[in-house]
Amino acid sequence: MTILSPSRNLAAPGLVTLDAGTPLHRIHNRQRRASTFNPCRGGPTRFAPITDEDGQCVPSLYMGSTFDSVAYETLFHEIPVRTQRRTLPAAVLGDRAHTRLDADRDINLAALRAPELARWNISRTALIESSPRLYRETAAWAKAIHDQFPNVEGLVWTSNRCDPEDAYLFFGDRVRDVDFRIVSTRDCRSDPSFLTDVRQAAWRSGISVTI
């Protein structure tokens, strides 16, 4: 598959307001605060890392609308759909935590759903469902949206692995950690309900969480 490169003069995106008080979820390293943005470190993801027009890092923060959405976008993301035996070793949860947050203000997001993508002549299959091998090309769209539309503070799309739930990416030069209020945090070492919820989410796809 080849992915269309974004135009330098994109039509205005469809905007969605993430209202203050909207519940959010994040699964993250237990040593880090859930609202900490990634300063362009680590491997590539679908929409990060990107730089601004001056070549400066745009920090990123991924979240989801439900526990299951972030479980599928993180813990189960690399488990192939087309395989007979799908497993997740419980040991990988040892350094993970789950945090519930609330948006602390209204945040403007560009919608990356099929109708909105159609105005840019790109399909959901290409931008949201494509292989990790194409992350450089998909991240180019995040950069184009960021650079061309200063009022856009992040992206929202339907989770690739857990529809119809939402996945979010926030641009760290327009959204700050204080724009999110942490409601609760739990990790696998101290709260067995985390593992219980992971098992329940995994069961939906026939994934076994092994000891």
Mean pLDDT value across the chain: 94
Mean pLDDT for 67-94 is 85
pLDDT for 79 beyond 80 = no
Beta bridge mates, 209: 88
> What are the extents of the domains in the chain?
15-82+98-185
Place of tokens 């419980």: 90
* DSSP-derived pairing of the beta strands 87-89 and 208-210: parallel
**Regarding predicted confidence, which is higher, 2 or 203?**
203
Residue 147 CB: number of other CB atoms within 10 A? 18
pLDDT range class, residue 208, cuts 50, 70, 90: confident
Instruction: Tell me the whole-structure pTM to 2 decimals.
Output: 0.94
Residues 6+ apart with CB under 8 A from 112: 124, 127, 128, 155, 156, 157
Looking at the domain 15-82+98-185, which fold is it?
Diphtheria Toxin; domain 1 (3.90.175)
Mean pLDDT for 113-134 is 95
CA distance 13 to 90: 40
Mean pLDDT for 204-208 is 90
Position 90 scores a pLDDT of 83
